[in-house]
Structure 1
């Protein structure tokens, strides 16, 4: 497998999951600084001009949640997706919240052109980010983290996803001293071999 990624982006959630699952992969960096994601060559890989993209035997897969589920299917022994339907739904509840709300909140800081045509609107979007991301943190602390991890004591796909989003919080102007549960979660994740592996590769 080949994982197309950009350092510090949500694509790193897929790398962490691959490490947790013990699956071999080749990490291919997409240089956002030079706008490589917008080149015709990369458009052949992902026409959405985004990461992650995962090249597998059957073609190329995109979208973080889909790739995480694919990894869980490839490595059921990793228990990254619980077999209990309720727990699996709890896990996806957090993942879908991150995708639909928390990640979008963050994107308003740098991707204002997705939602507005006038550049004068961008600063207002940027100014709102600390507030909306803090509100997301409050939600995650109250409803998302049921222990050290999203499902309590067991690591799941949602933790790979949440960890990467939480690495953005300081840059988004969120004071983590107000969110002790997230601090504890980050500390627990940073001790994991999977996170250390992607850090060693310079992906985070």
Structure 2
């Protein structure tokens, strides 16, 4: 029997991967990497993931990194989970992977600009957060327009992209991003949080805070 291990941190983008595993109902183990204590740089974790970040997914001792790749692997290996749309058309189905890459490589860095601008330079941080906020608001307007016409990103079909979008904008909202400017996005966030798989993922994160004595306010996750 194969063994799947997810390396994660509460509140990080690994929450998306955690939700995907919960949605699929697949058996897995969680391993919590305390990135606030620089545990991602420990020799043991570097041996698993030289990139020193979360998430990482280990399957039978082999490690996969980068959220889009991990989520696409789960989509392919757990086809009944419905993590991404399947139309049978190769080109159309690639849209799911494209949207995951958009979340990870375009939106996610904007969130980092807003929340932690000092990570972007060794010098003056002025203007970095403002630049990220300007860019994210532009993307939020696009997302708002789409979600104002549908329940989920792909119409009436939930997908893991919905959770990734939730993570992006809810995390940015802990900084200068104002979710109240985007009512459809705010309503979408409530729907994501209400989904049972998300609630189970959140429960795992909160338990991890207590069990691992992490320096996080679990009530704010």
CA contact (8 A) 1:14 1:160 kept: no
Counterpart in 2 of 1:123?
126
Q: Secondary structure at the match of 1:3?
A: strand
Change in Cα spacing, 1:98 to 1:146, as seen in structure 2 (3 Å) is farther
Q: Secondary structure at the match of 1:33?
A: helix
**Greater RCO (Cα-Cα under 8 Å, separation 6 or more):** 1
Moved more, 122-131 or 141-150: 141-150
Paired with 2:95 and 2:144, the residues of 1 have a C-alpha distance of 14
Paired with 2:169 and 2:148, the residues of 1 have a C-alpha distance of 13
CA contact (8 A) 2:169 2:179 kept: no
1:157 maps to which of 154, 157, 160: 160
Counterpart in 2 of 1:77?
80
CA contact (8 A) 1:91 1:157 kept: no
Paired with 2:30 and 2:71, the residues of 1 have a C-alpha distance of 16
Q: Secondary structure at the match of 2:36?
A: coil
Residues 28-177 of structure 1 aligned to structure 2 (within 5 Å):
28-57=31-60, 59-84=62-87, 85=89, 87-108=92-113, 109-110=115-116, 112-113=118-119, 115-118=120-123, 120=124, 122-143=125-146, 147-177=150-180
Paired with 2:108 and 2:61, the residues of 1 have a C-alpha distance of 28
Counterpart in 2 of 1:197?
200
Change in Cα spacing, 1:60 to 1:144, as seen in structure 2 (3 Å) is farther
Change in Cα spacing, 1:169 to 1:107, as seen in structure 2 (3 Å) is closer
In the TM superposition, residue 58 of structure 1 has moved relative to its aligned partner by: 5.4
Paired with 1:168 and 1:88, the residues of 2 have a C-alpha distance of 28
CA contact (8 A) 1:91 1:151 kept: no
Paired with 2:84 and 2:152, the residues of 1 have a C-alpha distance of 13
In the TM superposition, residue 63 of structure 1 has moved relative to its aligned partner by: 0.5
Q: Secondary structure at the match of 1:159?
A: helix
Q: State TM-score, norm by structure 1.
A: 0.89
CA contact (8 A) 1:13 1:163 kept: no
Moved more, 81-90 or 99-108: 81-90
Per-residue Cα deviation, 1:53-75 (whole angstroms, up to 9, x for no partner): 01102501100011111111221
> Aligned residues, how many?
201
Paired with 2:75 and 2:50, the residues of 1 have a C-alpha distance of 25
Give 5+ residue unaligned stretches, structure 2.
207-220
CA contact (8 A) 2:83 2:160 kept: yes
